[in-house]
Amino acid sequence: MDKVTKTISAIQGADAKLMAQAQHRLDNLTKPQGSLGELEVIAKRIVGITGSMHPALTRKLIFTLAADHGVTEEKISAFPKEVTAQMVYNFLTGGAGINVLARHAGAKVVVVDMGVAEKLKVQGEESKTFKDKKVGYGTKNFTKEPAMTPQEAIKSLTYGIEAFEEELENGIDIVGIGEMGIGNTTSASAITACITKASVAQTTGKGTGIADKELAHKIAVIEKALRINTPDPKDAIDVLAKVGGFEIGGMAGIILAAAANKVPVVIDGFISSASALLAFTLEPKVADYLIASHSSMEQGHRIILQHIGVTPFLDLHMRLGEGTGAALAMGIIDAAIKILDEMATFESAGVSKKD
Nearest CA-CA partner of 91 in 335, 351, 346, 322: 322
| Residues with Cβ within 8 Å of residue 246, at least 6 apart in sequence | 67, 114, 115, 134, 135, 136, 138, 139, 148, 152, 156
Element (H, E) at 6: helix 2-9
SS3 of 266, please? strand
Calpha distance 298→201 (Å, rounded): 12
Q: What is the DSSP string of 17-34?
A: HHHHHHHHHHHTBSS-TT
- Classify each residue of 145-177 as buried b or exposed e, where b means 16 or more C-beta atoms within 10 Å of its C-beta: ebbbeeebbbbbbbbbbbbbbebbeeebebbbb
Distance CA 152, CA 276 (A): 18
Amino acid in the structure at residue 197: K
Q: How many residues does the chain have?
A: 355
Active-site amino acid positions: 322
